[in-house]
Amino acid sequence: NAGVTQTPKFQVLKTGQSMTLQCAQDMNHNSMYWYRQDPGMGLRLIYYSASEGTTDKGEVPNGYNVSRLNKREFSLRLESAAPSQTSVYFCASSEGGNSPLHFGNGTRLTVT
């Protein structure tokens, strides 16, 4: 099993460009999450999806949109990228409730 797969691994955008970060899990997990991690900082929750068909805002949702396409996939979209969104983005999934999170390897995004 691949676990949690994130694409792309690296991306450089110009200010104002848009892009979608993809995340897929093959563990039949109910819940999925998007985090960002700035250099030397902890992870901050952007959005999460407790179950297929639902999404909720986390700590830092502004400037992002998400889509829970199906049970496997949870995408994160930046409609108009800003330099402040330069970060490493991690996707995670879990069975739900108190179950542990399983993380992908991250997408390193630079906005110039």
The DSSP symbol for 73 reads B
Q: Which two tokens stand for residue 13?
A: 């955008």
Interface pick for another protein out of 50, 63, 65, 73 (rule CB under 8 A): 50
Pair 92, 3: CB distance under 8 Å: no
Q: What residues have CB less than 8 Å from 42, skipping those under 6 apart?
A: none
Which residues in the 8-37 window bind another protein by CB under 8 A? Answer: 31, 33, 35
| 61 is an interface residue for another protein by CB under 8 A | no
Which residues in the 62-81 window bind another protein by CB under 8 A? Answer: none
Total number of residues that touch another protein (CB under 8 A): 26
Interface pick for another protein out of 21, 23, 24, 92 (rule CB under 8 A): 92
Closest approach of another protein to the CB of residue 108, in Å = 8
How many beta carbons lie within 10 A of that of residue 97, not counting itself?
8
Q: What residues have CB less than 8 Å from 62, skipping those under 6 apart?
A: none
Q: Which two tokens stand for residue 54?
A: 């639902």
Task: List contacts with another protein (CB under 8 A).
Answer: 4, 31, 33, 35, 41-45, 48, 50, 56, 58-59, 90, 92, 94, 97-98, 100-106
